[in-house]
């Protein structure tokens, strides 16, 4: 009898090796236990390392390694399947390519086709098969006795543009071959097929030497630990939050490869300016500055000739997001050089925004688009316009930073005109419903989740505070189910990343208890590997939408945890707004270094019930322009507390201390 994990016939447990992005899966049933470790090779040659170790209490058990005609994205047809024995193992050849190398020889190999039936249920030795229908299957049986191991490795591939269309060459391409590029753009759905190819990594032969695979598995773990070292630390008295920070740092870092960052590894292994805005903010905010900057340096070459930062046609939010992300990085790090390198591109991006909105709704808002796709069918989404307004504001900041004062005035003038148009065209619906809906003439529905970007991350202050609060609280009241945002439009599930965005808004509205409640539900909803799909099925708890490893959600979790510690409110910082007694008392604490205003802020100390000490280190604070710091100490009975503060004037407030640094 065959026991299949996918059918619940085997107990499956998963964990991360030392909280790094190295998964370990354990299968158990009766008196057998099997552990499967997987890691990418530290040689960065596209090799996936696999080590299966078992312990069987009784004879008769077998492990089957299956080759199936599908992957997490769907069908992956197999016409030809072949096993080529070698000394000590063998090569699995799929559709003419060497895909998997078994370093330990199987006891039985079964390759099968549609006519012969599924290889899982056939025990006749067949080493090669052709299936014209593309559903060949393979089963590699290992008979178990006592303890042992199976080692194998597989190759992978990367989706890339062919050299002549890679974004680094677009600048030259626009001059020399722009008509051809325009022709390709017009092909719509066929564009993906034309531009994205499979970049094959050959199957390596170095693992034939004894011990190489095991050595590289260990080295992979060491390299991951080293890559994590520059990142900020989140060390509180609540271990669950500490692990959430450590693990999600690794997740977001793992999705930055080469010159891009992507929100997933399968369907979402593509670059979007939208997702990158949040993911690069998370990387930079947690002190992975080099990795974030590498991607940002490519933004000018990702731009079209007309100034469009195009992720996909029909999505009009990307120009505001691209400009905001560049400026946000510079605000955190003080990196003027990046702004200088990107300024011409930012100028063209501003012109695109100006021109595009004048071809849209009443020639004042963006044309109908798919926007963030989850808001519903094409519409004049406020999301697109809020991001565009934010982009204009940030362009003015960049111009001021670089001493381009005349251009700053032009950008501010356009921003103010855009704000005025936005308020005018949304007024009727705002008066009717009391909130900002998703788009003009649109009633209250869950698509209005897109409009909360006015608070987070943009902090536009475009509506009266009461309207902003009603918008957020209406979503929280009407579209949260079981403590999470439930989105019936397209996604049809619980959205982790949108729930976390709501937590950010709640925090800004001083609804700290509710923000913490959202984070609690998010952490309760994690998988064993601490991952999330884009949307969670309300009944099964599995995925509904997108990859099962959603990088945007990981980024939002990091940004929220940082915001709980240190929140930038323009004129001042708010410290510890999201932290309470459970996070601050009972263990040494350390947070940072978090990049901010060209410096880094680190907070450390040891707090007990009746006494304690905090050290706030912020080199460059006096040059930051910040007027004061709010230190929130809701964990204390402030009426009976006594404070001694060195290095700053202080005033006791209802929330804690207001600090005016002296040095």
Confidence of residue 198 (pLDDT cuts 50, 70, 90): low
pLDDT tens per residue across span 55-104 = 999 999 999 999 999 988 889 999 999 999 998 899 999 999 999 999 99
Residue 456's nearest CA partner among 471, 443, 466 is: 471
Sheet containing 62-67, strands listed edge to edge, beginning at the edge strand earlier in sequence: 62-67, 137-143, 108-112
Question: Which of these three, 121, 156, 191, is where a domain ends?
Answer: 156
The domain that contains 34 carries what CATH number? 2.70.98.10
pLDDT tens per residue across span 141-169 = 999 999 999 999 999 876 555 444 455 45
With respect to residue 402, please indicate whether it lies within any of the assigned structural domains: no
Sheet containing 535-536, strands listed edge to edge, beginning at the edge strand earlier in sequence: 480-481, 484-487, 493-494, 535-536, 543-545
Confidence of residue 613 (pLDDT cuts 50, 70, 90): very high
**What is the per-residue pLDDT for 164?**
42
With respect to residue 615, please indicate whether it lies within any of the assigned structural domains: yes
The answer on pLDDT for 332 being more than 80 is yes
The answer on pLDDT for 192 being more than 50 is no
With respect to residue 47, please indicate whether it lies within any of the assigned structural domains: yes
Measure the CA dihedral 535/538/542/546, to 10°: -20
**Which domain covers residue 633, as residue numbers?**
572-661
With respect to residue 200, please indicate whether it lies within any of the assigned structural domains: no
When pLDDT is averaged across residues 228-243 and rounded to a whole number, the result is 98
How many domains is the chain built from? 2
The answer on pLDDT for 189 being more than 50 is no
With respect to residue 132, please indicate whether it lies within any of the assigned structural domains: yes
With respect to residue 42, please indicate whether it lies within any of the assigned structural domains: yes
Question: Which of these three, 90, 125, 156, is where a domain ends?
Answer: 156
For residue 355, the number of C-alpha atoms closer than 13 Å in the C-beta half-sphere is: 10
Question: Which of these three, 107, 141, 156, is where a domain ends?
Answer: 156
With respect to residue 585, please indicate whether it lies within any of the assigned structural domains: yes
With respect to residue 151, please indicate whether it lies within any of the assigned structural domains: yes
Give pairs for 115-121: CB < 8 Å, separation 24+.
119/66, 119/67, 120/2, 120/64, 120/66, 121/2
User: pTM for the whole thing?
Assistant: 0.93
**What is the per-residue pLDDT for 170?**
55
When pLDDT is averaged across residues 429-434 and rounded to a whole number, the result is 98
Give pairs for 339-343: CB < 8 Å, separation 24+.
339/398, 339/401, 339/402, 340/402, 341/297, 341/300, 342/296, 342/299, 342/300, 342/398, 343/398, 343/399, 343/402, 343/404
Instruction: Spell out the residues 6+ positions from residue 218 whose beta carbon is closer than 8 angstroms to its own.
Output: none
């Amino acid at each position: 009898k065959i026991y299949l994990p996918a059918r619940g016939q085997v107990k499956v447990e998963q964990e991360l090796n030392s909280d790094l992005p190295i998964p370990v899966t354990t299968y158990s049933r009766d008196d057998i236990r099997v552990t499967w470790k997987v890691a990418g090779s530290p040689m960065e040659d596209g090799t996936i390392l696999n080590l299966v170790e078992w312990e069987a209490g009784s004879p008769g058990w077998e492990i089957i390694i299956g080759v199936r005609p599908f992957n997490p994205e769907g069908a992956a047809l197999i016409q030809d399947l072949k096993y080529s024995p070698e000394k000590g193992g063998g090569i699995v050849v799929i559709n003419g390519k060497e895909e998997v190398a078994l370093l330990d020889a199987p006891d039985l190999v079964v390759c099968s086709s549609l006519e012969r039936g599924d290889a899982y249920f056939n025990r006749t030795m067949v080493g090669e098969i052709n299936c014209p229908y593309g559903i060949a299957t393979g089963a590699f049986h290992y008979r178990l006795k006592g303890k042992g191991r199976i080692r194998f490795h597989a190759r992978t591939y990367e989706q890339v543009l062919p050299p002549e269309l890679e974004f680094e060459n677009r600048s030259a391409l626009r001059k020399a071959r722009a008509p051809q590029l325009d022709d390709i753009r017009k092909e719509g759905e066929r564009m993906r097929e034309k531009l994205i190819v499979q970049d094959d990594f050959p199957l390596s032969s170095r693992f034939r030497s004894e011990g190489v695979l095991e050595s590289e598995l260990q080295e992979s773990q060491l390299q991951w630990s080293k890559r994590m070292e520059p990142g900020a630390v989140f060390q509180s008295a609540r271990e669950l939050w500490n692990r959430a920070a450590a693990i999600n740092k690794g997740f977001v870092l793992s999705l930055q490869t080469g010159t891009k960052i992507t929100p997933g590894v399968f369907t979402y292994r593509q670059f979007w300016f939208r997702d990158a805005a949040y993911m690069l903010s998370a990387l930079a905010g947690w002190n992975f500055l080099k990795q974030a900057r590498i991607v940002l340096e490519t933004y000018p070459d990702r731009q079209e000739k007309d100034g469009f930062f195009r992720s996909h046609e029909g999505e009009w939010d990307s120009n505001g997001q691209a400009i905001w992300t560049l400026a946000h990085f510079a605000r955190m790090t003080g990196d003027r050089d990046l702004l200088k390198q990107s300024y011409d591109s930012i100028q063209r991006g501003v012109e695109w925004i100006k021109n595009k909105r004048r071809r849209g709704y009443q020639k004042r808002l963006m044309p109908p688009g798919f926007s963030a796709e989850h808001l519903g069918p094409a519409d004049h989404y406020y999301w697109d316009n809020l991001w565009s307004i934010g982009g204009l504001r940030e362009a003015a900041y960049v111009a001021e930073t670089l001493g381009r004062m005349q251009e700053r005035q032009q950008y501010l003038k356009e921003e103010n005109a855009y704000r005025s148009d936005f308020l005018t065209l949304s007024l009727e619906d705002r008066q009717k419903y009391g909130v900002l809906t998703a788009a003009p003439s649109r009633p209250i529905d869950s698509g209005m989740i897109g409009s909360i970007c006015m608070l987070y991350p943009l902090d536009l202050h475009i509506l009266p505070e009461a309207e902003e609060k009603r918008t957020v609280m209406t979503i929280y009241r009407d579209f949260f189910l079981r403590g999470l945002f439930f989105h019936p439009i397209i996604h049809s599930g619980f959205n982790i990343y949108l729930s976390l965005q709501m937590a950010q808004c709640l925090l800004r509205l001083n609804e700290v208890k509710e923000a913490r409640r959202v984070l609690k539900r998010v952490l309760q909803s994690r998988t064993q590997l601490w991952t999330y799909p884009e949307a969670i099925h309300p009944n099964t708890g599995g995925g509904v939408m997108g990859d099962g490893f959603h990088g945007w959600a990981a980024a939002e979790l990091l940004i929220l945890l940082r915001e709980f510690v240190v929140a930038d409110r323009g004129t001042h910082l708010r410290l510890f707004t999201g932290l309470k007694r459970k996070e601050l008392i009972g263990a040494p604490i350390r947070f940072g270094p978090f990049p901010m205003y060209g410096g880094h802020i680190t907070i450390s100390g040891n707090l007990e019930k009746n006494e304690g000490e905090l050290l706030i280190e912020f080199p460059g604070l006096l040059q930051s322009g910040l007027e004061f710091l709010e230190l929130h100490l809701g964990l204390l009975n402030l009426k009976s507390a006594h404070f001694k503060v060195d290095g700053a004037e202080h005033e006791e407030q209802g929330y804690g201390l207001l600090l005016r640094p002296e040095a």
